[in-house]
Amino acid sequence: MDTPPDRWRNTVALNLDSAYLCMRAALPHLAEAPGAAIVNISSAAGVLGVKGGAAYASAKAGLQMLTRVAAAEWGPKDVRCNAIAVGSVATEGALRSWARFGATAESMGREVPLRRVGRPDDIAYGVLFLVSPMSAWITGQTLAIDGGPRIPAALDDDML
């Protein structure tokens, strides 16, 4: 909670306000296209929070709620709206960020059940699904593409 107010505003503007403004500008055009779909790119931080990242996590949580509200309001216009909560993905920026804390893609991957970090194409396939006819009856949802870190730890039989 030590985020300076100007950094807070910039982070929210980049991660929430920009999506709102784009969605608002796109609606008149999307309403004319049968089966139109919006996919907002959110983050696992918007679901779980992240220590030291109140502004980012709050903005991404807000984006997920904006997605749900837009789905409810725009559904009657045949416009679907969903989001993807992205986990740790090995982009150039993420690799640089992790390196500042002594982490690597390999060490980050050990923290998730699938034992690897995501690749950009993992996210792209989720977007393709959400804009395709295969998801024609899905709206207002946030799809987690994160390798599974939020699933409960498996219990051994002797723990039951």
pLDDT, tens digit, for every residue of 53-98? 999 999 999 999 999 999 999 999 999 999 999 999 999 999 999 9
Q: Is 20 a catalytic residue?
A: no
Contacts 24+ apart (CB under 8 A), 25-30: 27/74, 27/77, 27/79, 30/74, 30/77, 30/79
Hey, which residues does 81 pair with through a beta bridge?
Answer: 38
Q: How far apart are CA 11 and CA 58, in angstroms?
A: 9
Q: How far apart are CA 107 and CA 127, in angstroms?
A: 27
What was the pLDDT predicted at 1?
80
* Residue 43: its H or E element: strand 36-43
Tell whether the model's pLDDT for residue 128 goes beyond 90: yes
What was the pLDDT predicted at 155?
47
What was the pLDDT predicted at 151?
80
What was the pLDDT predicted at 76?
97
What was the pLDDT predicted at 157?
53
What was the pLDDT predicted at 158?
52
Tell whether the model's pLDDT for residue 28 goes beyond 90: yes
5-150 has which CATH code? 3.40.50.720
Q: What is the mean pLDDT of residues 153-159?
A: 51
What was the pLDDT predicted at 159?
44
* Residue 105 DSSP code: H
Among the listed residues 23, 56, 70, 112, the single catalytic one is 56
